[in-house]
Chains A and B, each alone.
Chain A
Amino acid sequence: MASEYQVIGSAVSHDLHAAHIVSGKADFAGDRLAGVKLYGALLLSIVAHGTVKNIDATRALSEPGVKAVITHADCPIWTRNIRQWGQEVAGVIADDPATASAATRLITVEYDVLPFAFDPDEAMQKGAPLSDVYPGANTHLVSELTRGDVESGLLSAHTVVETIQPWSGSYQHHTLEPHQAIAWWAGEEVYVWTPSQHIHSARRYLAAALDMPITRVHAFTHFTGCGLGDKNPASAATIAAVMSRAAGGAPVHFQESRRENALVNTRQFAVKSSIKMGAKSDGTLTAIDARFWGDGGRNPSAPIGDVPFGLRNTYTCPNAYFRVDMVNTNTPLRGFWRCVGDPPGAFNYDIALDKLAFRLGMNPYDLRLKNLRSPDALSQEPPLMVWGGNGVALCLERVHQESGYGSKWHEPGTGVQSAGRQHGIAITGHLDSHGSVSHTIRGAVLTLTPDGRCLINVGGARASDGSLTACAHIVAETLGMKYGDVSCNEWGNTDVSLDAGMQAGSTFTASAGAAFMSAAQDARAKVFAAAILREPFLSANAAAGDLDARDGFVFLKNDPTRGLTYRQVIASTGPIAGTGVSWSPTLRSRSIGGVPIGSPCYSNGSAAACAEVAVDTETGEVEITGLWNVVDSGRTIFKQGAVKQMNSGCELMIGQALYYGDIYDRASGALLNTSYIDALHPTTLDFDTGRLHVQDVESDDAAGPYGAHGIGEPCVTNYSAIVCAIFNATGKWVDTEKGGCTPQKVLKALGKD
């Protein structure tokens, strides 16, 4: 466990940039304001489907303070083809934000309006208006997979339950730091500061959009606010660059308003499902027929393919059919949100499992445990690979123990606490496709300095996941240095860093961490090679393999009192650079299931949640009386960061279960709740954070650096647990159509609407 390490897993190490944040010195992209005198604002479409026929910006351009107006003619990522209400149509650049915003209302736009596809069920019907998002149709097959013989498996089952879930809600991130960028030009070169979860990808996106050589595109990020998946695309950066170009290359700060933020960026997609599960009387699964539909909005390549991942891989079932179809409608873009496709898929199959358990007369926990795949099992379909680590069983057992579930569970609807108040409890578990070491090679650079310190240069942002600090932990551990002697002095600068990967899908700790481990090994080898040429190693005829390092001191393994400090070694060599690359997921630390070390493997995230609720059957209000989350980290690198991530996952999923949901006007296709006033987010008064209990467990992922993988994704299981707990409390399934379990929906489920 963590105690065998000097640095990683420490409970007391702090975020590298903690002082920046609490002192107000953390420079988010929108804070790079030196020299900025121009500001941009957007005009968005008021039709859901059609074509921009004409744009008259004469009045806007005549306003004092307005410098320029841009349209699709200027901005390569805009189009005259409108596919959603609230799509970008034009932009104004002016002396201050208020002037720019006011001037947008002076632009006149003529549209050719077309019928729009809004409701995904209606969009799938023959004769429905085409959304024109995907060529020729509103629906297309995304993936299909068959395992064994589903029909036979269902026939051989003792019990078959079909669970049909209506369309879930779509959830926009409403990230507190609005999407934005500051851009300027120097000749033919563009410079952009922007929040980003993958700044190197943003740079490539910009270069492609502007049709420029990448060497002339300079993209930077430092602190990125709340990247839960929608800060991957670089649209704000591109718009800012175009605005600046229109203003003669002067620096322009383009910050999306709350309304624009909600409309033009991606959100999690809604999913509908029909899942048939067959099981023997003892709960052994015999067949699964799972069909999912995802509403991709106006994104023809929305990432809904991962929806069945958890169901496919968490539980053993020899006969299974999985199908995913995408429906495209004239509604906003869909994309990542605290995971890819896993959240809605996980929710849907967790409901299906609980319904099956109820029909079998089983405790849902027992049903899950019975069918969990063994940690060293091969995958159930080609390519047949083992998991680097699969901690779902470990997480389920631990959360069962911590929550006291065994003594608290009761049959659904029987937990009466007091008059009008029902108790409920549920456990769910989740294996997701993330936490994986990226299949794309990532790079890392670090420098050992003459004062005996290490500076890491990270090609990524300081984001909410704490992954930059995790990289520093990995470097310190590998070098045998004190954590306090490792700094990150340069990060997010695409001009001088290697691509460290995407800070999403919980991949960064594993992929960039692997690259930094490799870089630190490179530097350590160079230090040892230099050290053995000096006393006391020279007279001991020591080879590099006879050395070790700890707390910045290089010593002989057989005599730890004899050695040199890093500072002393580097005094003779000058600064030493270390470079490294990540590796594709392969078994590194142990053989699993007979598969030898070095074999390709998967590396995933896993977690389990137990939710305990009290439902007021008179008001429909749901009180979270306890939420336990156990997450398998593989190896916890930055302990305090991991705890924060887990807490965050709990709180976020409470929001999803009880509050979140986009609200649309059907007649126009307009998204109505675009600000915090009407897009509900929980506040400090909405639940008692003292009732959240999180814990990390370490399954020692055989693929990641020091056995680590990411942990930010599998918290989605908290959402399932809360909804299942409400069922356990009331004996009724709340309709989660288009959003969370609001009091109105709970009352409706109870027949009290």
Chain B
Amino acid sequence: MSESPKEEENRGLSRRAFLRDAGLIVGGVAIGSLTFANACKDGSTLTGRATTVVANRFVCPVDGKEFPSLEALKSHYSSAHPRASLPTGIVTLSVNGVDYTIQAQPWWTAAFVLRDKLGLFGTKVGCELGACGSCTILSDGLPVLACLTLAVECQGKNLTTIEGLSDGITLGPLQQKFYDNEAFQCGFCTPGFIMAAQGLLNTNPKPTADDVRLALSGHICTCQNFKKTIETVTGGV
């Protein structure tokens, strides 16, 4: 999302630092903590589903006291309100065509929300490091790793999980092909492979074996059974 020079100037925080500070400051990322956003905003406007807030004030959301710096606010917060819950974000996620509005901690990953909050456990968590591909979902049709994607980042995106490839009863075309070819072993990596393959087919409907090998090269299968998977996806459905 584009930012005005003023927003850019005032962005003093990386996403990771934002995570660490857990909602005490906003750094140009869409977040729905309306109460805190109102406490911090400097003339910004809430627009639609995406809320961009510029922060150059540091206001405690519990007692309203203002501080000159983030460090000062953090110090006050931890000493004055040691057991207070940190501000959480209200996010609306569109998953498999259904909108879910939830209250999410800023550090919750999409994988955690999908599985533990929305009951969509088809997306698997193998490493939480983005190294295995098990958690692959589609975001606006393209593969992303749900373990490295924050739930709050998904506002405004159309997410598709493995469950979304079928209608609940009838398998989707790619799923059917995996079924027909028995392209799985224990099955733990299979949803991630299928979603990555679907992402490939969304942009390349008739991939060659080399296209498939490259597209799936970010996936680990410790049963070690790539052969059937590559054969299944090659040529499309």
Q: Does B178 contact A (CB under 8 A)?
A: yes
Q: Does B191 contact A (CB under 8 A)?
A: yes
Contact B213 A685 (CB under 8 A): yes
A436-467 toward B: CB 8 Å interface, digit per residue (1/0)?
00000000000000000000000000011010
Q: Does B157 contact A (CB under 8 A)?
A: no
Contact B134 A647 (CB under 8 A): no
Contact A684 B163 (CB under 8 A): no
B110-131 toward A: CB 8 Å interface, digit per residue (1/0)?
0010011001111111111101
Contact A225 B224 (CB under 8 A): no
Contact B82 A62 (CB under 8 A): yes
A247-281 toward B: CB 8 Å interface, digit per residue (1/0)?
00000000101100000000000000000000000
Contact A98 B225 (CB under 8 A): no
In the bound assembly, the distance between CA atoms of A683 and B190 in angstroms comes to: 14
Residues of B near A30 (CB, < 8 A) are: 121, 125
Q: Closest residue of chain B to A647, judged by CB?
A: B227
Q: Does B1 contact A (CB under 8 A)?
A: no
Partner of B219, one of A24, A641, A683: A683
The binding surface of chain B is classed by DSSP as: loop
Q: A15-B182, A258-B127 are in contact. Are A96 and B189 (CB under 8 A)?
A: no
Q: Closest residue of chain A to B134, judged by CB?
A: A176
Q: A64-B83, A96-B108, A681-B220 are in contact. Are A675 and B126 (CB under 8 A)?
A: no
Q: A24-B122, A177-B126 are in contact. Are A676 and B132 (CB under 8 A)?
A: yes
Q: A22-B194, A33-B119 are in contact. Are A684 and B230 (CB under 8 A)?
A: yes
Q: Does B18 contact A (CB under 8 A)?
A: no
In the bound assembly, the distance between CA atoms of A727 and B179 in angstroms comes to: 41
B207-226 toward A: CB 8 Å interface, digit per residue (1/0)?
00100111011111111111
Q: Does A682 contact B (CB under 8 A)?
A: yes
Partner of B184, one of A21, A25, A27, A463: A21
Q: Closest residue of chain A to B126, judged by CB?
A: A176
Q: Closest residue of chain B to A15, judged by CB?
A: B182
Contact A175 B227 (CB under 8 A): no
Pick out which of these stretches binds chain B: A381-389, A605-613, A648-656, A737-745.
Answer: A648-656
B55-92 toward A: CB 8 Å interface, digit per residue (1/0)?
00000000000000000000000000011111000000
In the bound assembly, the distance between CA atoms of A14 and B183 in angstroms comes to: 11
Contact A31 B115 (CB under 8 A): yes
Partner of A682, one of B120, B124, B224: B224
In the bound assembly, the distance between CA atoms of A640 and B191 in angstroms comes to: 20
Contact B217 A685 (CB under 8 A): yes
Contact B179 A18 (CB under 8 A): yes
Contact A22 B175 (CB under 8 A): yes
Q: Closest residue of chain A to B180, judged by CB?
A: A14
Q: Does A36 contact B (CB under 8 A)?
A: yes
Contact B226 A651 (CB under 8 A): yes
In the bound assembly, the distance between CA atoms of A5 and B158 in angstroms comes to: 50
In the bound assembly, the distance between CA atoms of A34 and B121 in angstroms comes to: 11
Residues of B near A690 (CB, < 8 A) are: 209, 227
Q: Closest residue of chain A to B209, judged by CB?
A: A690
Partner of B166, one of A23, A651, A681, A682: A23
Partner of B186, one of A24, A223, A684: A223
Contact A644 B212 (CB under 8 A): no
Q: Does B201 contact A (CB under 8 A)?
A: no
Q: How many residues of A contact B (CB 8 A)?
A: 61
Partner of B188, one of A28, A648, A655, A692: A28
In the bound assembly, the distance between CA atoms of A25 and B191 in angstroms comes to: 10
Q: Does A543 contact B (CB under 8 A)?
A: no
In the bound assembly, the distance between CA atoms of A97 and B163 in angstroms comes to: 24
Q: Does B228 contact A (CB under 8 A)?
A: yes
Contacting A at CB under 8 A, from B132-188, are 132, 134, 161-163, 165-166, 171, 175-176, 178-179, 182, 184-188
> Chain B's nearest CB lies how many Å from the CB of A740?
14
Contact A464 B186 (CB under 8 A): yes
Contacting B at CB under 8 A, from A87-124, are 96-98
Partner of A258, one of B128, B182, B187, B216: B128
Contact B222 A226 (CB under 8 A): yes
Contact B188 A177 (CB under 8 A): yes
Q: Chain B CB within 10 Å — which of A24, A26, A224 has the most?
A: A24
Q: Does A73 contact B (CB under 8 A)?
A: no
Contact A23 B162 (CB under 8 A): yes
Residues of B near A79 (CB, < 8 A) are: none
Q: Does A707 contact B (CB under 8 A)?
A: no
Q: A676-B127, A681-B220 are in contact. Are A23 and B185 (CB under 8 A)?
A: no
In the bound assembly, the distance between CA atoms of A28 and B228 in angstroms comes to: 22
A217-235 toward B: CB 8 Å interface, digit per residue (1/0)?
0000001111110000000
Residues of B near A15 (CB, < 8 A) are: 182, 184
Residues of B near A177 (CB, < 8 A) are: 124, 126, 186, 188
Contact B217 A683 (CB under 8 A): yes
> Chain A's nearest CB lies how many Å from the CB of B159?
14
Contact A225 B186 (CB under 8 A): yes
Contact A655 B224 (CB under 8 A): yes
Q: A644-B225, A675-B127 are in contact. Are A31 and B121 (CB under 8 A)?
A: yes
Partner of A22, one of B108, B128, B179: B179
Q: Closest residue of chain B to A26, judged by CB?
A: B187
Q: Chain B CB within 10 Å — which of A176, A223, A685 has the most?
A: A176
Residues of B near A28 (CB, < 8 A) are: 124, 188
Contact A651 B227 (CB under 8 A): yes
In the bound assembly, the distance between CA atoms of A326 and B224 in angstroms comes to: 30
Q: Does B33 contact A (CB under 8 A)?
A: no
Residues of B near A27 (CB, < 8 A) are: 121
Q: Does B52 contact A (CB under 8 A)?
A: no
Q: Does A67 contact B (CB under 8 A)?
A: no
Q: Closest residue of chain B to A645, judged by CB?
A: B185
> Chain A's nearest CB lies how many Å from the CB of B107?
5
Q: Closest residue of chain B to A173, judged by CB?
A: B222
Q: Closest residue of chain B to A461, judged by CB?
A: B186
Contact B83 A676 (CB under 8 A): no
> Chain A's nearest CB lies how many Å from the CB of B85?
7
Q: Closest residue of chain B to A469, judged by CB?
A: B182
Q: Does A178 contact B (CB under 8 A)?
A: yes
In the bound assembly, the distance between CA atoms of A241 and B216 in angstroms comes to: 37
Q: Does A689 contact B (CB under 8 A)?
A: yes
Q: A258-B127, A676-B127 are in contact. Are A683 and B218 (CB under 8 A)?
A: yes
Contact B222 A175 (CB under 8 A): yes
Residues of B near A226 (CB, < 8 A) are: 185-186, 188, 222-223
Q: Closest residue of chain B to A689, judged by CB?
A: B227
In the bound assembly, the distance between CA atoms of A721 and B84 in angstroms comes to: 62
Q: Closest residue of chain B to A13, judged by CB?
A: B182
Contact A97 B112 (CB under 8 A): yes
Q: Does A174 contact B (CB under 8 A)?
A: yes
Contact A23 B175 (CB under 8 A): yes
Q: Closest residue of chain B to A676, judged by CB?
A: B131
Q: Does A540 contact B (CB under 8 A)?
A: no
A153-192 toward B: CB 8 Å interface, digit per residue (1/0)?
0000000000000000000011111100000000000000
Partner of B179, one of A14, A641, A676: A14
Q: Does A77 contact B (CB under 8 A)?
A: no
> Chain A's nearest CB lies how many Å from the CB of B136?
12
Contact B223 A464 (CB under 8 A): yes
Q: Closest residue of chain A to B174, judged by CB?
A: A22
Q: A24-B191, A27-B121, A676-B220 are in contact. Are A227 and B230 (CB under 8 A)?
A: no
Contact B129 A227 (CB under 8 A): no
Residues of B near A24 (CB, < 8 A) are: 120-123, 161-163, 191
> Chain B's nearest CB lies how many Å from the CB of A301?
25
> Chain A's nearest CB lies how many Å from the CB of B130?
9
A-B contact pairs, 6 of them (CB 8 A): A15-B184, A24-B163, A25-B163, A258-B128, A258-B129, A648-B185
The list of the 6 closest CB pairs from A to B, nearest first, reads A24-B122, A24-B162, A21-B187, A464-B186, A225-B188, A31-B121
* Additional A-B contact list (20), CB under 8 Å, known A23-B171, A34-B119, A223-B188: A22-B176, A22-B190, A24-B162, A25-B122, A26-B187, A31-B115, A96-B105, A176-B220, A176-B223, A178-B125, A223-B187, A226-B185, A226-B188, A255-B125, A258-B131, A464-B185, A640-B182, A647-B228, A675-B131, A689-B230
